[in-house]
Structure 1
Amino acid sequence: MSETATDAVHPRFVKKPIFYSKGFKIALIQMSVGPDKTKNVAKAVTEIHKAKECGAHIVALPECFNSPYGTKYFDEYAEEVPSGVTCRALSRAAAEAGVCVVGGTVPERCGDKLYNTCTVWDGTGKLLAQHRKMHLFDIDIPNKITFKESEVLSPGNQLTTFEYNGVKIGIGICYDLRFPEMAHLMSKQGCSMLIYPGAFNTTTGPKHWELLARSRATDQQLWVALVSPARDTTAGYVAWGHSLLVDPWGSVLGALDETEGTLVHDVDLTVVEEVRSQIPIRVQRRTDLYDTIQKC
């Protein structure tokens, strides 16, 4: 278990006794996911309420928290958004706890298409945002892992940001993390934080999970949170775990190991402007020579 997890008040929680004049407290829930959707959703709801007890204002769940991760599961576990049973449970939990819930991802059915979709709910249970994974996870590493989400899923076509209590936050899902252009556009739209529910595997996780989080935080000068399922070595797809929070300086301020747990930490928004004013790359970009633009 990581050093940050050992100083938890509760053995399943990581909590830092720091309070900021401008910011909020976030909880990243790294939960185990099994084949029983009802149990998975009930577990998520329970952890949302526990996070509220620790003072969290925003609670984030992992990718595919209500379903095993795998192309053979997406059709079976898919439901409509926002009318499906999982969305209704998240809406109710957000309202009862009075917190913003970044609902990891669920397999979404829309007509004859399936998406990997993150929903965001405010403290009254209202749907704030819906992000469909834009970059599908299609990779082939010989003798390691081959996976093609595109065999079953369709890609989303829109960037997704939302505002909660005056804070603008961008959403990406797992493989989206590898595309700095997407992060840059969300930063340009005024985001102070990017949250990525994700399930990197045990091949790419140790190589790139933390590296990419620190890269996005550093190149966009904002907070980055990655939220993974806990590792299950008996599953068909084994997640890396290691949910973490990175500040705009690129420092990892909190991290879990591969087991179940919740990382609770304060997000100091003053650090965003501190970094951007001291290292003003946002106004030093040579847009006369290059630029990143949004097409739709």
Structure 2
Amino acid sequence: MKIALIQMKVQDQKSLNLKKAKKHIKEAARNGAELVILPEMFNTPYNNSYFEKFAEEYPGESTDVLKNLAKELNLVIVGGSIPERECEHIYNTSYVFSKKGDLIAKHRKIHLFDIDVEGGAKFKESDTLTAGEDLTTFQVGDMKFGLIVCYDIRFPDLSMNLALKGVDAIIVPAAFNMTTGPAHWHLSARARALDNQVYTLLCSQSRNEDSSYRAYGHSLVASPWGNIQDELQIEEGILYSNLDKDYITKVRGELPLLKHRRPNIYEMK
């Protein structure tokens, strides 16, 4: 399966972000992508004040754009994430639309990014956002995908649970910053891929030096063997990669980690 990760520069005008996302998605479709992924908070700067300002109920402006593009271009779109408003709550939510334009999955970020690194990044998503509660999977052809958002990747139990549900790949719209990115971006992608013998697909915003929150970039695909299969750097662009279900089967046959688990010994009772 040919996939495309869109690493785009996000600006402070939603209309411009949607226009840019539309342009990149159409380019990916022309180049034969069957599934396209956008980054975390692709329609808004990564800032609590913008989350409130740009939040949308479903259906809304951003999801309508994605739905219509999916149907028009006959491809699956994983809409990175946007701030979703429901009653008094705002969630960091990723929507997935089928080739027919149907909503087939919705993931609300489970783990909120509340950090304070001495001499580095400080951010508190919980000042604005509410945490999600559900695991998310969806099917495209013969491949099953798990969907998480950014900080969710740091919690191995979540990815393991998705692997045990039979996913072949875990999609991670994300926006690591210039403190956490150099330290843990590649490590997290490779570790989750290796531990669970799945592809991990991390899709970031591109680097914007003028932004108050500078994304790390480096959108990538890690293979079930734990190596980086394809990667962008910091610039805006589209990363194309191929997912091979037979390769997953090969790796799991040679090194059957999931079969060798002994949860009766080490899982909490």
Q: So what's the TM-score if we normalise by structure 1?
A: 0.89
Instruction: State the one-letter code of the partner of 1:55.
Output: G
**2:11 corresponds to:** 34
Instruction: State the one-letter code of the partner of 1:49.
Output: K
* Equivalent of residue 171 in structure 1, options 147, 161, 165: 147
**1:76 corresponds to:** 53
Q: Given that residues 181 and 292 in structure 1 are in contact (C-alpha distance below 8 angstroms), is that contact kept between their aligned partners in structure 2?
A: no
**1:158 corresponds to:** 134
* Equivalent of residue 191 in structure 2, options 215, 239, 242: 215
Equivalence map 1:135-284=2 (5 Å)? 135-284=111-260
Instruction: State the one-letter code of the partner of 1:68.
Output: P
Equivalence map 1:26-175=2 (5 Å)? 26-81=3-58, 83-175=59-151
Q: Distance in 2 between matches of 1:157 and 1:189?
A: 17
Q: Distance in 1 between matches of 2:195 and 2:187?
A: 12
Q: Distance in 2 between matches of 1:265 and 1:284?
A: 30
SS in 1 for 2:242: strand
Q: Given that residues 26 and 267 in structure 1 are in contact (C-alpha distance below 8 angstroms), is that contact kept between their aligned partners in structure 2?
A: yes
Q: Distance in 1 between matches of 2:106 and 2:164?
A: 20
Q: Distance in 1 between matches of 2:172 and 2:159?
A: 11
Q: So what's the TM-score if we normalise by structure 2?
A: 0.98
**Matched-pair identity in %:** 43
Q: Distance in 1 between matches of 2:228 and 2:122?
A: 30
Q: Distance in 1 between matches of 2:267 and 2:103?
A: 33
* Superposed CA offset, 1:22-42 (max 9, x none): xx0000000010011011011
Q: Tell me, which stretches of 5 or more residues in structure 2 are unaligned? A: none
Q: 1:292 to 1:91 in 2, by over 3 A?
A: farther
Q: 1:106 to 1:222 in 2, by over 3 A?
A: same
> RCO higher in 1 or 2 (8 Å CA, sep ≥ 6)?
1
Q: Distance in 1 between matches of 2:124 and 2:222?
A: 29
Q: Tell me, which stretches of 5 or more residues in structure 1 are unaligned? A: 1-23
Instruction: State the one-letter code of the partner of 1:46.
Output: K
Paired residues, what number? 269
SS in 2 for 1:288: helix
* Superposed CA offset, 1:54-109 (max 9, x none): 1100000000100010111111000012x100000000011111100000000000
Task: Give, in angstroms, the shift of residue 228 of structure 1.
Answer: 0.2
Task: Give, in angstroms, the shift of residue 216 of structure 1.
Answer: 0.3
Q: Distance in 1 between matches of 2:252 and 2:57?
A: 40
Task: Give, in angstroms, the shift of residue 292 of structure 1.
Answer: 7.6
SS in 2 for 1:259: coil
Q: Distance in 2 between matches of 1:267 and 1:166?
A: 11
Q: Distance in 1 between matches of 2:51 and 2:34?
A: 30
SS in 2 for 1:129: strand
Task: Give, in angstroms, the shift of residue 165 of structure 1.
Answer: 1.4
Q: Distance in 1 between matches of 2:137 and 2:242?
A: 20
SS in 2 for 1:55: coil
RMSD: 1.0
**1:286 corresponds to:** 262
Q: Given that residues 185 and 292 in structure 1 are in contact (C-alpha distance below 8 angstroms), is that contact kept between their aligned partners in structure 2?
A: no
